Structure 1
Amino acid sequence: MASLYQTRLHTGESLQPGQPVALPKEQAHYLRSVLRLTPGDKVALFNGRDGEWLAEIVELGKSAALLTLARQLRPQADEPDLWLVFAPVKHARIDFLAEKATELGVSALWPVFTQRTNVSRVNEDRLRANAIEAAEQSERLTVPMVMAATKLEAALASWPAGRRLIVCDETGGGIPVAQALSDNVVSGNAVLIGPEGGFTETELDGLRKLPFVTAVSLGPRVLRADTAALAALACFQAVAGDWRQERPAFKG
């Protein structure tokens, strides 16, 4: 989908009327050398707190950029509280997963190591960079939080009260995902996807015993881990998330 303002950038700076916004070297280089923008050109800025703002480039050098805010394009809005908890996959596929999960509206990305996970470490900075880029391109007003990678057992032991965990059970032991989402709607949700080799029987047995877990089936076909994650997120957004809402209009 094309934005009214083709260039959107995420910033950690506060966005308030009359306040100048400084951008760091990497973003200045992107504006100057990649997009070939010059002072006077306009971009959209968002920070996950203050909505989206139209900004004008005032100064644009090699090491920094300075912008002024013109007006707010969209106010900050609530988004689904939806985590993706996933066993890490290899580099290209985890980049793809972070990008597409961000486009699908997750609020947090949490890599967890299961017994059959064949990846030993996660580059969390790379995950965050992919999430930021996807948020900029998909017109989101927030960037998903990237949580520190940990073992599945540790994640479950510290699981926050009140958050439902939807476990995608590749063995067919779960109820249909649409039914699960329709039957029990809660405010905080998470989707758990196992590794390419699937969960072990011990892991699945332990998960099913937890009171906050709902095991679901994603149909009759065996899906790759990243495919399963995106399919589950799409189901959630269609049945219980923000796909039920109309797409908000820009203030042109």
Structure 2
Amino acid sequence: MSVPDFARYRLFLDQPFSAGAALPLEREQANYLLNVLRLRVDGTVLVFNGRDGEWLARLVPEGRKQANLELVRQTRPQPPASDLHYLFAPLKHARLDYMAQKAVEMGAGLLQPVLTRRTQVSRLNLDRLRANAIEAAEQCGILSLPAIEPERPLDAALSDLAPERLLIFCDEGLADASPVPALAQCKPAPLAVLIGPEGGFDEAERTLIRARPNTLPISLGPRILRADTAAVAALALVQAVVGDWSRI
């Protein structure tokens, strides 16, 4: 696996890449490179679009506030997209921003907001979710952005999961027990992780989730975790035992 270069600034550009191509920058992007980072002619950054790998790009200023980037060469090829689905009850504002960023850092390949009876937020700003995903990817050397789905009711989100996808249900009502042995017994399969809202799922929802075939309820330990903390704990646990950390 190639090692990211963190010495250079990384920028997401939603444009097709090819050697020698000149990519126009948005005004805010150009201003940041020219007037905040103070890059000059031929200064270099790394760019990615989630499809064509990572590229070294040379800055071509066009005045004080405009600039293009000229693609020089590919520095890392595009890896396969992660197949880990993350289902979560939306939170408010900064905590949702944090959750989205950490889910991307932990390797989620799809973000699916789920509406439950105790969900505090009924409508999401998907552009803001995407912006948080891009920010996390830029800062952490990630090349693939997750798919971001519109919010869906819990029953519909469960129905959308393919039967062969193992749903790891982080059940706050489960008796304290180590989740590692249960996860270690799982056969290789596509994975999904489900985290509930503040206040947890109600009993009818827990029954609905448990009734889905190919669902594994697990405990996250003896302490009560906030929903955003539970997200990080669950994704780290799953990646370490049955996810891509376990295959390194």
TM-score, length-normalised on structure 2?
0.91
Aligned positions of 1:32-43 closer than 5 A: 32-43=34-45
Find out whether 1:71 has 2:73 as its counterpart: yes
Instruction: Report if the CA contact (8 A) 1:166-1:214 is conserved.
Output: yes
Is 227-236 or 168-177 further displaced after alignment? 168-177
| Cα distance per residue 1:196-251 (max 9 Å; x no partner) | 100000000111111132111111111111111110100112122232466xxxxx
Instruction: Report if the CA contact (8 A) 1:5-1:43 is conserved.
Output: no
| Cα distance per residue 1:166-212 (max 9 Å; x no partner) | 11000115974323332124342111100010000000011111113
Instruction: Give the 3-state SS of the residue equivalent to 1:220 in structure 2.
Output: coil
When residues 4 and 228 of structure 1 are mapped into structure 2, their CA distance, relative to the original with a 3 A threshold, is closer
Instruction: Report if the CA contact (8 A) 1:79-1:242 is conserved.
Output: no
Instruction: Report if the CA contact (8 A) 1:12-1:47 is conserved.
Output: yes
Instruction: Report if the CA contact (8 A) 1:164-1:188 is conserved.
Output: yes
* TM-superposed deviation, 1:100: 1.2
Instruction: Name the aligned partner's letter for residue 140 of structure 1.
Output: I
* TM-superposed deviation, 1:70: 1.5
Instruction: Name the aligned partner's letter for residue 29 of structure 1.
Output: N
Instruction: Name the aligned partner's letter for residue 39 of structure 1.
Output: V
2:31 corresponding residue in structure 1: 29
Instruction: Give the 3-state SS of the residue equivalent to 1:131 in structure 2.
Output: helix
Instruction: Name the aligned partner's letter for residue 11 of structure 1.
Output: L
* TM-superposed deviation, 1:112: 0.9
2:237 aligned residue (235, 238, 252): 235
1:191 aligned residue (185, 190, 193): 193
2:168 corresponding residue in structure 1: 166
Q: For residues 182 and 79 of structure 1, what CA distance do their matches in structure 2 show?
A: 23
Instruction: Give the 3-state SS of the residue equivalent to 1:106 in structure 2.
Output: coil
Structure 2 unaligned runs (5+)?
Answer: none
How many residues are aligned here? 246
1:130 aligned residue (123, 129, 132): 132
Structure 1 unaligned runs (5+)?
Answer: 247-252
When residues 79 and 240 of structure 1 are mapped into structure 2, their CA distance, relative to the original with a 3 A threshold, is farther
Find out whether 1:48 has 2:50 as its counterpart: yes
Q: For residues 151 and 216 of structure 2, what CA distance do their matches in structure 1 show?
A: 22
TM-score, length-normalised on structure 1?
0.89
* TM-superposed deviation, 1:63: 6.2
1:207 corresponding residue in structure 2: 209
Instruction: Name the aligned partner's letter for residue 203 of structure 1.
Output: E
Instruction: Report if the CA contact (8 A) 1:167-1:192 is conserved.
Output: yes
| Cα distance per residue 1:10-44 (max 9 Å; x no partner) | 11111222222222223222222332222211000
* TM-superposed deviation, 1:64: 4.6
Instruction: Give the 3-state SS of the residue equivalent to 1:48 in structure 2.
Output: coil
* TM-superposed deviation, 1:65: 2.9
- Give the share of equivalent positions with the same residue, in percent: 50
